[in-house]
Amino acid sequence: MPQTTPKIAVCTHLVPLNMPLYLVKKMSSIQPVTKQFILQSRLFNNVLEGIEDRKGSDRLSEYVNHLQWIAGHLTNSRYHLGSAIGLNAHFPYAEAYTDLSQPPPHNRAIDPSVNYPSLTEIKKSWNEFAAGFAEKISALSSEHLESETPVRVPTGKTLSDLLAFIASHESYHIGQMSIIRKSLGLPAMSYK
């Protein structure tokens, strides 16, 4: 019997065949992403709860960023994204986390020569921006959400894709911060 190569079917449908249309319509809403940002606004504070400013620059190793860098990077990312959704606010410590010689989004790697802001200062900037940020995302029109952004992310090239990616990005870094928190001898981050 001759050997044949099996044919592989490629699905070109945008929607999985077994997914009800009413669920697809709900999934296209920005509300789940807005809820993710609201949750992460709280978790950011929870993961830093009880960590003294003097511990903010402690590193697990030379290969791991410290809390001041991670928290500032996340805050800088939110402020930067804010301009794409119509918020006019500036992170006062953006320069410590931005390198215009790097490709967009111009992230600056951790640098021992930089005097990073304290965790208290970073949390203050995060919290001042958080409420308006989630509210603005929730109110974005479908047209705005489907508009293309100058920066392509792994999830696509629309504003909706960028928001989904940044939500994932925040979750990733909050997870890193929770590991550093535990290494400092503190209890696990609360979800309350």
In this prediction the pTM is: 0.83
14 vs 109: which has the higher pLDDT: 109
CA-nearest of 64, 49, 26, 32 to 167 is 32
Q: What does the pLDDT read at residue 8?
A: 34
Do 118 and 53 meet the contact criterion of CB atoms below 8 Å apart?
yes
Q: What does the pLDDT read at residue 152?
A: 84
The whole-chain average pLDDT of the chain stands at: 87
54-91 residue pLDDT tens: 999 999 999 999 999 999 999 999 999 998 899 999 99
147-163 residue pLDDT tens: 999 888 998 999 999 99
- The 8-class DSSP code of residue 20 comes to -
